[in-house]
Copies of this chain bind each other. A is one copy, B any other.
Amino acid sequence: MVRTHTCGELRLSNVGQTVTLAGWVQRTRDKGSVLWIDLRDRYGITQLLLEEGKTETSLLEKARQAGREFVLQVTGEVIERLSKNDKIPTGEIEISVKKIDILNPAKLPPFTIEDDTDGGDDLRMKYRYLDLRRNIVREKLQLRHKMAQQTRAYLDAQQFIEVETPVLIKSTPEGARDFVVPSRMHAGEFYALPQSPQTFKQLLMVSGFDRYYQIVKCFRDEDLRADRQPEFTQIDCEMAFIEQEDILHTFEGLIRHLFKSVKGIELPAVPRMQYADAMKYYGSDKPDTRFDMRFTELKGEDRDLTSGKNFGVFDAASLVVAIVAKKCSDYTRKQLDELTEFVKRPQVGAKGLVYVQYKTDGSLKSSVDKFYDADALKTWAETCKAEPSDLILILAGETEATRKQMNELRLHVAEQLGLRDKSTFSALWVLDFPLLEWNDETQRYHAMHHPFTSPKKEDMHLLASDPSKVRANAYDMVLNGTEIGGGSIRIHNRDTQQMMFKQLGFTDEEAKKQFGFLMEAFEYGAPPHGGIAFGFDRLCSLFGGSDSIRDFIAFPKNNAGRDMMIDTPSTISEEQLKELSIQIRTK
């Protein structure tokens, strides 16, 4: 037995016991006559005591050799501390050391193993195994473990069956780029790694599994933006004999269970919003609802409070839209200029920003005073439900683009006002997404969710005449302005699926080659079904109050898809290439 206790469990009640601990040297304080070592393991820190005169000299010598991160095995007596430390659970005791073994020495780590480390990102990724020693990093992975446990607990209780679907599957042209795996046994042929277990989980519904889930690795060979990983984890679920309402109910239950069990938070019932409303009132299909600041259209479909006053910008705009920044009427010129600069950044792309300051004395001052009198501004303010002391921010232009710009501005202002607190949580269902979206590059419609999503019955008649108007039985769950999950009620009928493929530009032959097995399955008694998938990495990061998913992945890859620690991807031997019947293409 290497240890009798962990470094986190000894208390006053253990005083007098002889114990053996093992762990890492967190730090040493050497006062000459007294030497303290903080010994650390996953469970905590225990203080070791060695005293000149009391402790054997050889032990003191050995202890003095033990630098940071040395691995020690120590036997001694638990004694009560003279000066207690109430910051750690073991702070009332220390170990009077009788025996020390250095199990393994350690070189000086390239960065300090502390919550607040001096290591930069690259260094910490290269030595990820040392980074993972830091409590705050390990705690993130412990949170992830708890999230997985509680996800399973909830779904198991709801009679979902966890089924493993294959990793070596078939490459399909729809969606993102696949990672592929050359087959040695079938020269010239390839497997692909799944972007999701979509078709398999649908087949499980055809098989009568009724309720399926899996916490599963998925893969996408995309150009990596910040905080995207080539391999990522999904909570993947599917249900049969259900309607959309059943899915919303079940998975709202999952998220609320996770909040309750992992964070002790009672999340209220998750509100619902139409996709069209999300776009209209927040300029985004994933509105951050931790704060209000909804858009008000001063000129739009429903009203026009701006035209005919010779202000060319507003007259030319199809949309003039406002948000209200509460209690910001006293923003300085500099602050207002900063906001204008923000919206004019190429990433946002607005031409300018109009503001109306609704002063505490009730007067209104705007950047368009030349064109609009006090009455007009008053009407705007009333329409926006602004109050004295508020600041109204207005953007104008082409509808879709302006909404996107206003979304950016809304988030930016909220950030400045401290309204995006990471310890506050607001979830939202966004419903009724469009079925298709036009892609200028490929000059065809693409499925907004995926080709297996069913169109809304009441919109079916538009499929031929006005495809972009067709809404889908598709839903996303949004948490604090981030999409954490999305899904749909699927097509379960061969003809509809075939028509959908046709809309997406597949020839019958292509559709059959890629998805013939699924369409055939639909002919053998497919039940109505639907499902959802949650991005598990992202969900963990939000629960952990972090912007970065990378912190919640044990061994992440960098933005170039490279694992800096094991240094991969890397070359393979000519012999391997030969066996796989492939060769490197020379330029």
A-to-B contact residues, CB < 8 Å: 1-3, 6, 22-24, 40-43, 69-71, 103-107, 109, 127-130, 132-133, 138, 141-142, 145, 148-149, 152, 156, 161-171, 173, 177-193, 199-200, 203-204, 206-210, 217, 219, 221, 223, 230-231, 233, 241-243, 245-246, 492-493, 517, 521-528, 553-555, 557, 560-563, 565-573, 576-585
Contact = CB atoms under 8 A, between A and B. Distances in A.
Given A132-B209, A188-B571, A524 B169 contact: no
Given A177-B579, A188-B584, 13 more contacts: A2-B242, A42-B210, A103-B527, A104-B522, A129-B203, A132-B203, A132-B204, A132-B207, A141-B209, A148-B162, A169-B563, A184-B221, A582-B584
Majority secondary structure, A binding face: loop
A194 to B, nearest CB: 11
Contact of A210 (B41, B169, B243): B41
Contacts of A24: 208, 525
A275 B577 CA distance: 38
A224 to B, nearest CB: 8
A116 B438 CA distance: 50
Contact of A2 (B142, B241, B566): B241
B177 A571 contact: no
- Pick the 4 closest A-B CB pairs, nearest first: A106-B525, A132-B207, A189-B569, A170-B568
Given A24-B525, A142-B161, A188-B571, A241 B3 contact: yes
B171 A576 contact: yes
Contacts of A209: 42, 132, 138, 141
27 contacts: A1-B246, A69-B525, A71-B525, A71-B527, A104-B522, A104-B527, A106-B523, A107-B523, A109-B524, A129-B203, A129-B206, A132-B208, A145-B163, A149-B152, A165-B555, A166-B563, A168-B569, A170-B569, A170-B570, A177-B184, A177-B579, A179-B191, A182-B582, A186-B562, A188-B571, A203-B565, A517-B566
B219 A167 contact: yes
A570 B167 contact: no
A127 B206 CA distance: 11
Contacts of A6: 210
A491 to B, nearest CB: 11
Contacts of A243: 1-2
Contacts of A104: 492-493, 522, 525-528
A181 B184 contact: no
Given A207-B130, A208-B24, A572 B190 contact: yes
Contacts of A128: 203
Contacts of A554: 163-166, 200, 204
B138 A208 contact: yes
Contact of A578 (B109, B557, B585): B585
B190 A569 contact: yes
Given A242-B2, A555-B165, A561-B183, A567 B138 contact: no
A107 B522 CA distance: 10
A138 to B, nearest CB: 7
Nearest to A494: B104
B580 A583 contact: no
A243 to B, nearest CB: 6
A116 B9 CA distance: 57
B149 A528 contact: no
Contacts of A576: 171, 177-178, 180
Contacts of A246: 1-2
